[in-house]
Structure 1
Amino acid sequence: MTPFSDYQHASFDLDGTIIDSILVMEKAWNTVCSEFGITVPFIAYKDKIGVPFNVILDRLGLDELGDEFERRYFDLTAELVDEITVFNGFPEFLEKVKAQGCSTSIITSKPSQNTHAILNKANISVDVVVCGDEVNLGKPHQESFQHVVSTIGHKSCLRSIYFGDGLPDFIFSVNAGIDYCHCNFGVHGQLSPLIFPKPRTIDSWHNMLTP
């Protein structure tokens, strides 16, 4: 595997990677389902987190609810932003990455308004943020990373790694042609052992702070 010090660019997912937001998601999902008279349990939604929200609705057979359902869900998560926390060790790791000269980005399926509110509250700053409502094709399509490359330059992304917490993140990294590191502490836990070649993994951000 490429030594981490050799990477030129580090990119991150948001939910389950930088922030612990699963309880907020559950509260918002249960509330919006109750308001719309829907009986889809949160676990069904949780299993599909990582792709655009409209894709999740389609896979759950809820595509007819459309924009109103999505807007209400993200309004609820915005109201609960104070309950979202940053995973221990991430701010220190981000500073370490920047200190070694890496450019940085966040690529998330979350809409831009919610994403920037969370990042501002947490005082997290990266070179490029790409949100789900800013691209035509969200993860696992590679368009989001193409946007990063066009923004900071191809030479700054020759050796890149993406940190995520779900299978869509792994597939995204494959599609984008970049390395992947799986966060076992995220929403989906460990990846299937059947995946080959097996990507690097971490159990906490503190794993990345040791020499």
Structure 2
Amino acid sequence: MPPQLRPPASSPATGSKAASDSEAPRSLLLDLDGVLVDTLPVMEIAWHAVQDAHGLDVPFAEYREHLGRPFDVIMECLGLANAEAIHRTYTEASTVAAHLARGFDGITDMLVAVAAAGWSLGVVTSKPLLRAKPLLAELGCTFAAVRGPDGQGRGKPAPDWILLALVDLGADPANATYVGDMAVDQEAACRAGVPYIHAGWGYGRPLGPSSVVADSPRELLHLLGIVTPAAPFVEGGLL
């Protein structure tokens, strides 16, 4: 009988790397506006305040198209000068209307499930941290990294804030996922080498038809491979 052929044995280095990759901690980075929290009513009120205070006729719909970019960049895109004064007005009005912001349905349950699965959580947002952190606190979850315009690096679509958040988490891009809702989020993730999932419940569209899209926070868990217990059966309940 001819001898059986065996595959070549893996070298110790290769085997060690495979084991290390399989055991590497996973990280989930998320955008804030349009992914975790519905702040659109707040933004619309703040923009109307800007229109009134500065005599601008740029409609909110046009401002909304550029969400996800740093505020000063949005002003450049809209061809508006005096960005600093406009930002002050916008910030003041946003702070007053902040109580209108709401976490999206299913978001807190999703975050709890991700954390229970051993993933670390982080946020990458273009919202200044002074206004972002109170909104995150309302979700009742711990975010080990929060990166935005107050720190180092260039804003989205540059990859800097995503990469800095991964440094904060001690995570590798290959073991992370970024969830956003605007094209700039997707571009930033691509440039950072981080897999991207588009939040279909948010404010914008993905870059192309081949993009991975989650239509709900629960579907996001499925795409991440995180299994959650099925809802318990209640005797006499409607099917």
Q: State the TM-score, normalizing by the size of structure 1.
A: 0.88
Q: Deviations over 1:70-120 (max 9, x none)?
A: 122022111111100000111111111111111110000000100012112
Give the conservation status (yes or no) of the 8 Å contact 1:109–1:131: yes
**For residue 53 of structure 1, what is the aligned residue in structure 2?**
71
Aligned 1:1-211 pairs, distance under 5 A: 8-62=26-80, 64-154=81-171, 157-188=173-204, 190-192=205-207, 195=208, 198-209=210-221, 211=227
Q: Kindly, what percent of the aligned residue pairs are identical?
A: 28
| Aligned equivalents of 1:70, 1:135: Cα separation in 2 | 20
Segments of 5+ residues of structure 1 without an aligned counterpart are 1-5
For 2:35, the aligned partner's letter is: T
AA in 1 matched with 2:201: F
Amino acid in structure 2 at the alignment position of 1:23: P
Is the Cα–Cα contact under 8 Å of residues 7 and 161 in structure 1 kept in the other structure? no
Runs of 5+ consecutive residues of structure 2 not aligned to the other structure:
1-23, 228-239
SS state at 1:122 partner: coil
Give per-residue Cα distances to partners, 1:111-169, cap 9 Å, x unaligned. Answer: 010001211233342110012222331111111122122222245x5411001001001
* Cα RMSD (Å): 1.8
Q: For residues 168 and 221 of structure 2, what CA distance do their matches in structure 1 show?
A: 28
Shift of 1:49: 0.5
Paired residues of 1:112 and 1:134 also in contact (CA < 8 A): no
Q: How many pairs are equivalent?
A: 200
Q: Distance in 2 between matches of 1:7 and 1:75?
A: 40
| 1:1-56 residue CA offsets vs partner (Å, 9 max, x unmatched) | xxxxx971100000000011111111110111111111100011000101101000
Do the aligned residues in 2 keep the contact of 1:173 with 1:180 (CA within 8 Å)?
Answer: yes
Contact 1:20 1:85 in 2 (8 A): yes
* Aligned mates of 2:131, 2:99 — CA distance in 1: 12
3-state SS of the aligned residue for 1:132? coil
- The structure-2 alpha-carbon separation of the partners of 1:166 and 1:110, relative to structure 1 and needing over 3 Å to count, comes to same
* Rg (Cα) greater in structure: 2
Deviating more after overlay: 157-166 vs 21-30 = 157-166
- Higher normalized contact order (CA 8 Å, seq sep 6+, divided by chain length): 1
Quote the Cα distance in structure 2 between the aligned partners of 1:21 and 1:200. Answer: 24
Instruction: Write the letter of the residue equivalent to 1:140.
Output: P
- Structure 2 CA distance for aligned equivalents of residues 60 and 174 of structure 1: 25
Q: Which amino acid aligns with 2:212?
A: R
Aligned amino acid, residue 44 of structure 1: E
Q: SS state of the match for residue 117, structure 1?
A: helix
Match of 1:3 in 2: none
- Give distance in 2, aligned partners of 1:154 and 1:7: 7
